[in-house]
Structure 1
Amino acid sequence: MKTPLNRPIRSTISRMHLGEAASKICDFFHHLHYSFSERNPNKDKERLRFYLFKHHHIVEKGLALPKPNFCFGQPKILNLMEKSEIYAQNYGHDAILDSIKKTLAEYLIFHEKNNAILPQEFERRLRDFSANFNNAVVGGIRQVAKAEMENLNLAAFRNFVCCRYSVRDFSPEPVSDDLVFSAIEAAIYAPSVCNRQSWLAHYYSDKNTIKKILQHQNGNAGFTETIDKLLIITGNTRAFTQNESNQIFIDGGLFSMNLILALHSAGLGSCALNTSYSYFQENRAKNAAQIPKNERLIMMLAIGNLKKNFNVAASPRKPTREFVISH
C-alpha cells in the first residue's frame, strides 16, 4: 500500500533523474557541436590538427608492429596527405606536418629495406610529399633498448606511490611556479588515444581567483585558505570524433594521474578535487575559471608545499582478491 510518505520520495527521485537526463542530453549535444567529423574535419584549424594527429599515429602504429604488412594503409595515407596539404594551404607549415612527413619517409624506407614494391603512383606521391622536412622533429618510430629500463624496479615504485597522499593541510610556504611547470612537462608522457593529447592545464596562482573558483567546488571546505596554487585539468572536445565522447575523460584522467605523481616527485603536496557537476553547474564553474566552452572539466588539483608533519586520511585499500578477476 502506498503511503503519503512515498509521494515526496518518488517526486524527489523523479526530479533528480530528470536533471541528470537533461545533463546527459546536453553532454551529447556538446560533443556533437565541438567534436570533429571524420568525413569533413576541415571546420577549423584545431579540429583538423587533431584529425592529423589521429591519422598520423595510425601509420606510426603500423610501422611499430612486429611484422608490418607490406603496402599497408594506402587509402588512409592518401587521405592523410590530402588533409595535410589542406592544412598547409589554410594554416601554414608547422611541426605536425614535419612529423607526418618524417613518418611517411620511414614508411618508404621500410619498404625499400624489405624490397617490397609499392604501387608506382602511390610511391611517387609519397616521395613528393615527404621530400623536405625538419628531421629534428619527433615522428615515425624509434628503437628502445631494454637497458634503458634496467634500473627500474617495482619495489621502488611501490614505495613511491605508497607515500603519496591527498594533502589537505599545506605549509604556508609559497610554491614555485617553475616547479609546477616542470611537473606539468613531465606529465605529458601519459598515454593518449592516437597521441591526440587532448588535455589542457589551467594554472591559477592568485589567491582571490582561487577562492572564487573554489566556490564552485564542494570538496575544499576546511582547507581552502591553505591552498597556494590551483590547476584545473580539462579536455578539448575538438580532439574527438564519433563514439569518443567518454574518451575525453580517460585521456584527461591519465594525464591527471601522471601530473599528481609528478607533483609528488617534486616534493609538493596535492589534492584532487572532483568536478562531478551537472552540465549547467559545469558551465558556471568554467565561466568563473575563464575556461572556453569547448573544454570539459576533468578535475581540479589543489597544490601546496608540505609541512614537516601533517595528517592525512588513512584511506584503507581493498585487498587485490576483491577486484582482480582471473579468467
Structure 2
Amino acid sequence: MSSMKNRLKDVLPMPVVALAKSMLNGYPSLIMSSLSEARRYNKAYAKDTAKGVKQLESRMMYFTHQIEKGLSHKDFRYGFGKRPLQYLAKTLKLYQQRVSNYSDSMPYRSALAALGEYLKRHVDHEDTLNYVRSIFPVTTLEAAQKMDGHEGGSFHFSEQYKKNNASLTFRELSTNRHSIREFSTEPITYDEIKPALELAMRTPSVCNRQPTRVRVILDHTIIAKALKLQGGFNGYAMPPALILLTADNRVFMAPQEHNEGYTDGGLFGMSLLLALEEQGIAACPLNTMFRKGPEEATRKLLNIPPYENLVMYIAVGHFPDRCITCVSHRFQAEDVVTVVR
C-alpha cells in the first residue's frame, strides 16, 4: 500500500493524491454504507402509497398527532385540520381492510379518541361536522364518540401539577412528562436552564467521546427565524428559549461511526428533557430533519460548522398556569419487545 501511495505522488498532482488517499482511507466504505442504508429505508418507510400494517399504523399515529396538536391549542381554532382528517379517514379505511382485530389496536383507538374529541369540540359548528361526516363512515364516527379521552386527544393540567417534580421518582417523572408547546410569558434565563444541562452531561456516549454540542438561544428574533425555517412550530407563540443539539463528527474515528452522533445526541436530548422536567421547566423536542435549503439557512443563521450534524431543537420555557397538551398514547412494552432466549 505504501509503495502505491509513493507511485501516486510521482505521477499525479497533489490535490489528486490527497483525494486518492482519502478514498484509500475508508471513503468507499462510507459511500457504500450510506447507499445500503438509503435502499433499506426507501423500501421500509411509510410513504403515501404504503399499505403494510406497520406503515399504516405509523401514518395513523402521525395524522392523529396533528389533530391532537390542534386540540391542545390554548386559542382553539374551530374547523382546523381538514387535510389531516382526510388522510386519517383514508388510512383508517385501509387499516380496517388489512387488520381483522383493528378495533383493539392502540394506534386505531388513539385515532378514534382524537376524532371523538374533535366531534365534541365542534358540537355547535354544523359546517365542520358536515365536513367530517362526508369523509368518515357513520360507524367510525359512532365508535369515535364512545371513546374514552385518555387514549387520545388533549390532556389538561395546571402549573401546580409540576410543583413537586424535584421530589418525584424516576418512574413518576417519566410518566408525568408531557411536551409543552405554549409557555408562560415569564422570561427564562440561562442560569435557570444550566442545572439541567449540567445533569445531562452525565449522558453516556460512545467511548466517552461526548459529541453533543449545545446552543442555548435566548434572542427572540433569532428564535423566530430558526423556527420559521424549522416549520413545525407554526401557530404557536415563540418559546422564551430554544436549545439546539448538534453532533461533532470530529470525535469519530471510522466510517461505520457516521450515524453515532445522532444516537449520542438523542440520548443527550432525552436526558436533558427529563432534567428540565425535574427542574420544573417546560419543554418540547422539535425535529431538525431539513431539506437542503432550510438546513443551509439554519447553519448560516446559527453559525454551525460543516463538521456538526443537526440533531434536534428543544423549545423551553416556564409552565403556564393552565397547560393543554397532546395525550400521545403509547404502545405497551409487549408491543415492541422481542425476547431472544
TM-score normalized by the length of structure 1? 0.51
C-alpha distance after superposition, 1:223-280 (max 9, x if no partner): 143x000110000011112210010100111111111111111110011010112345
Which residue of 258, 263, 287 corresponds with 1:250? 263
What secondary structure sits across from 1:311 in the alignment?
Answer: strand
- Cα contact 1:263–1:269 (8 A) shared by 2: yes
SS at match of 2:322: coil
In 1, Cα distance between the equivalents of 2:274 and 2:318?
Answer: 15
How far did residue 221 of structure 1 move? 0.8
Partner of 1:42 in structure 2?
none
Deviation at 1:172, TM superposition (A): 0.5
Paired amino acid for 1:213: A
Whether 1:233 and 2:245 are equivalent positions in the alignment is yes
Task: Give the counterpart letter for 1:232 in structure 2.
Answer: L
The corresponding residue for 1:309 is: 322
Given candidates 160, 172, 193, the residue that maps to 1:159 is: 172
Deviation at 1:219, TM superposition (A): 1.1
**Correspondence list, 1:32-111, <5 A:** none
What's the offset of the Cα at 1:208? 0.7
Contact 1:183 1:266 in 2 (8 A): yes
Give 2:276's match in structure 1, choosing from 263, 279, 287: 263
Aligned partner of 2:298 in structure 1 is: 285
3-state DSSP of counterpart to 1:261: helix
Give the equivalent residue in structure 1 for 2:197: 184
TM-score by length of 2: 0.49
Percent sequence identity over aligned pairs: 34
1:275 aligns with 2:296: no
For 1:210 and 1:234, the matched residues in 2 are separated by: 16
Aligned amino acid, residue 207 of structure 1: H
CA contact under 8 A between 2:266 and 2:311: conserved in structure 1? yes
Instruction: Summarize deviations over 1:183-219 as a string: whole Å, max 9, x none.
Output: 1111000010010001110111011111011111011
- The whole-number CA distance in structure 1 between the counterparts of 2:171 and 2:273 is 15
For the residues of structure 2 that align with 1:282 and 1:237, how far apart are their CA atoms? 17
Question: What is the count of residue pairs matched by the alignment?
Answer: 176
Q: 2:329 is matched by which residue type in structure 1?
A: P
Contact 1:211 1:224 in 2 (8 A): no
Report the alpha carbon displacement of residue 308 of structure 1 after superposing the two structures with TM.
Answer: 2.3
Per the alignment, residue 207 of structure 1 pairs with 220
Normalized per residue, the structure richer in helix is 2
The question of whether the paired residues in 2 share the 8 Å contact of 1:237 and 1:295 is answered with: yes
Pairwise CA RMSD: 2.0
Q: Answer yes or no: is the 8 Å Cα contact 2:246–2:309 preserved in 1.
A: yes
Distance 2:179 2:299 in 1: 24
Amino acid at match of 1:259: L
| Preserved CA contact (<8 Å) 2:243 2:313 | yes
